[in-house]
Amino acid sequence: MSWTLGIETGGTFTDLFMIGPDGQVFADKVPSTPAAPEHAAAAAFQRGIELAGVGPAAVSRLLHGSTVAVNALIERRAAQPGLIATLGFRDMLYIGRQEKTHIYDMFYRKPDPFTDRANVYEVAERTDPDGSIVDPIDRDQVAGVVDRLIEDTGVPSIAICLLHAYANPSHERIVAEVIAERHPEIRVVLSSDVCPVHREFERASTTVINAFLHPVVDRYLDQFAQVVKQAGCIAEPLIMQANGGVLPVPATRRRPAGLFLSGPSAAVAGAASLATQAGLPSLITLDVGGTSTDICLVTNGEAHETGHGGAYGEVQGQPLNMVMTDIVTIGAGGGSLAWIDEGGMLNVGPKSAGADPGPACYDRGGDGFTLTDAMICLGLLADRSELPGGIKLSLAQAQQAGMLLVDELGLSVLELADSVYRIAIANMAEAIRSVTVRRGYDPRDYALFACGGAGPMVAAPLAEELDAGSVLIPPDPGVFSAFGLTAAGLRMDFTRAVEQGSPVMQDRVAFATLMAELRDDAITSFGELNVDAAALTLTYTADVRYVGQGFELRVPLEMGAGESKGAAYVSEAFHGVHALRYGHAFEDQAVEITALRLMASSSAPSVLSQWRTLPTGQGADCRTVHIGGVETETSIHDRAGLASGEPVPGPVLCIEPTTTTSVPTNWTARSDDFGLLHLERRNA
């Protein structure tokens, strides 16, 4: 028997999703263990095989997403790396860009890089933008610099970012060889491997972030692989990447920053896959977990990705120039705490009650009032109902936690809960506008795809806030990220920088040659993973701008047209992308390519034939729900009992094992043949 198991570690819960050889599905949650996240992963593995009633060796495909990278970056909980730069470029990280994001703040300071200036050493060398060597590198001088750096700082890892290494990486490789010979215990990251493109500041920042994460990710991957092996798993784990694909552990180690937003990327990949099957390929994904809300735009089945000219990948104010799913994250989850600022205004998040102790209603010692506490006070959740992981909700504890805020604000508990609920929704709406309206997309053209434990409880009123009329809820939305893992295939991204004035812009042969080089890189890399070239899907893009423009837009390329028409085709495609983004295009202006990119992937095995949420055993009932000062008698339906295609008018609460979906008065709910729950506004 062959089973697939996805394990996604979040801030509050670790989710599991298990699929059997005949399409059987088991989904559940276990509490996360933030101090040692691998323990929760091991518990999820044991829970999965227990639910399926199989031995550990039956799991032939194990996939994992983790918050270990994002937590280490946000908390800066790792040893700083060293950085070796070209002589004269020691301060490129600290000069950065001449940008001031808070223009009226007299005391504004740029965010600090992920390493101090004392950890940056220089080597004498020089390479031109075309890759020609101006000043050769001296191995003896490099050896002395490396020895001093390690002796003076004791860094566990070193980032190497030399001038124009994207055009010729030979000098970076020499430095790496010297480090390996003299200090083999030191982890090394080369900018020419992780970010082979223009712009020294962004390239250096990306390399330093990878080096910062290297020891953390290495240690965690070792621990995770060890605990699942001890549990009896014989499958090689596949780790979720920020680009929406998965890779084996050895490949993941080479680019540890690929784990950034690993779990949220899985949810986006799953949403794009499931909704495309149902014929609804354009989505706004809303993943509301315990500590945060993650939002991404999916257009025509393709998740939006970070890139210049639109969305920037960054961490703590530092650029992370890698291809990543373009996810906007805000601190608004079920565990987000309500608090009063200095002006007496009520706020929700970003601080969270986390997994330990969790919201007050978990009855595990939490004393802050959270969004989950607000929802049980409003009646969206039932007193004494049980969550996965054996947690029983307590209305009394939630009400008690709100008393301090009630006294200070002069509100009733219900008024406080309603305010917290609506503030959280307003925060989510503003985040959605940042990836839609502010980038030229109309949210009314998209369906809101809500998942996470709290997503279905806020989705309909959030859609109303955005004037959208359609919401999709997948089965078992509380563990949807774990499902997304099982739907993800292998993926790697490859890049070639294109120098200004390169013949690529004028010569179709040069253009085709560069694309072929990318294709060869992909075939070689996937060959190391025993994936045949015939199984690969290749998608080309180009970073393009008008000559003299400061930033690029990413332009999709059709393989045949790009090779036959070359730059003429790229120019035409770029004008269209520019017009979509900015509302106009300068078709008489010359354009230039700064980089060619290739996304290479292989599809995940098709193992899910049908998916229906399990029954809760709770029949029809009613509950009083208080929203916006209005008291409504709301009927309760077991989601598993909803007949496909039959609309159910609100107000309704559709309950299932991992969450509850709120269907307000002016909405209807219906289930489809794919297991999706459709919420539609009757007056939309």
Cβ pair 451, 567 in contact under 8 A: no
- Is residue 507's pLDDT more than 90? no
Q: Pick the more confident residue, 370 or 441.
A: 370
My answer on whether 105 and 28 are in the same domain is no
Cα 647 from chain centroid?
34
Hey, is 547 helix, strand or coil? coil
Helices (H) and strands (E) in the chain, counts: 18, 35
Average pLDDT (245-262) is 91
The highest-confidence range among 340-344, 458-462, 503-507, 653-657, by mean pLDDT, is 458-462
Q: Tell me how far apart the alpha carbons of residues 260 and 242 are, in angstroms, rounded to a whole number.
A: 6
Asked if residues 311 and 581 have their Cβ atoms less than 8 Å apart, the reply is no
User: Where residue 227 sits, what CATH number does that domain have?
Assistant: 3.30.420.40
Answer yes or no: is 181 within a domain.
Answer: yes
Residue 226 burial (CB count, 10 A): 12
What number of residues does the chain have?
Answer: 684
- 336's enclosing H/E stretch is strand 336-340
- Flag whether 324 is in a domain: no
The dihedral through the CA atoms of 63, 325, 521, 600 has a sign that is positive
Q: Same structural domain for residues 67 and 83?
A: no
Residue 427, domain member (yes or no): no
89 plus 207 within the same structural domain? yes
Q: Both tokens of residue 251?
A: 């490949």
pTM: 0.87
Task: Judge if 31 and 93 occupy the same domain.
Answer: no
Question: Residue 389: pLDDT band by 50, 70, 90 thresholds?
Answer: low
Same domain, 56 and 94: no
Q: What is the mean pLDDT of residues 406-420?
A: 95
Tokens of 24: 């059987």
pLDDT digits (tens, 9 = 90+) for 577-586: 898 888 899 9
Say if residue 69 is in the same domain as residue 82.
no
3-class DSSP assignment, residue 607: coil
∠ at Cα 30 (25, 33), nearest 5°? 145
The region of weakest confidence among 120-124, 189-193, 327-331 is 327-331
Query: Does residue 67 form part of some domain?
Result: yes
Report phi then psi at 547, rounded to 5. -60, 125
Specify whether 589 is located in the same domain as 537.
yes
- Strand (E) positions, 364-417? 386-387, 391-392
Q: Check whether 678 has a pLDDT greater than 80.
A: yes
Q: Where among 602, 619, 643 does a domain terminate?
A: 602
Do 517 and 538 share a structural domain? yes
Q: How far is CA 139 from the centre of its chain?
A: 40
Residues 185, 90 share a domain: yes
Task: Tell whether 107 and 194 lie within a shared domain.
Answer: yes
Does some domain include residue 547?
yes
Number of domains in the chain: 3
User: Do 230 and 200 share a structural domain?
Assistant: no
Does residue 480 lie in a domain region?
no
User: Tokens at residue 456, please?
Assistant: 């279905």
Final residue of a structural domain among 151, 177, 211: 211
CA distances from 471 to 227, 304, 348, 371, 445 (A): 39, 19, 24, 21, 12
- Which of 602, 625, 641 corresponds to the end of one domain? 602
- The pLDDT of residue 107 is 85
DSSP code of residue 533 = G
* Bridge partners, 85 (sequence order): 122, 161
Instruction: Report the C-alpha gap between 512 and 481 in whole angstroms.
Output: 38
pLDDT of residue 567: 66
Q: Give the span between the Cα atoms of 156 and 175, in whole angstroms.
A: 16
Residue 426 lies in a domain: no
Task: Output the domain CATH number for residue 91.
Answer: 3.40.50
Rounded Cα distance between 202 and 162, Å, is 13
Host domain of residue 544? 490-602
Q: What was the pLDDT predicted at 562? A: 54
Quick: pLDDT tens for 32-85. 888 888 999 999 999 999 999 999 999 999 999 988 888 888 888 889 999 999
CA 350 from centroid of its chain's CA atoms: 18
- Give the E-state strand segments of 463-520 in sequence order: 470-473, 490-497
CATH code for the domain of 558: 3.30.1490
**239 burial class (0-12, 13-18, 19+ CB within 10 angstroms)?**
buried
Determine contact, residues 602/490, Cβ cutoff 8 Å: yes
Can you state the angle between helices 139-153 and 170-182, rounded to 10 degrees?
Answer: 60
**Residue 103 covered by a domain:** yes
Question: Is the pLDDT score of 308 beyond 60?
Answer: no
Examine the pLDDT at 485 and tell me if it is beyond 60: yes
Predicted local distance difference test score (pLDDT) of residue 310: 44
- In terms of domains, do 506 and 584 share one? yes
pLDDT in tens, 531-589: 999 999 999 988 999 988 888 888 888 766 555 566 667 888 899 889 888 889 999 89
User: In this structure, are residues 175 and 146 in contact, taking their beta carbons and an 8 Å threshold?
Assistant: yes
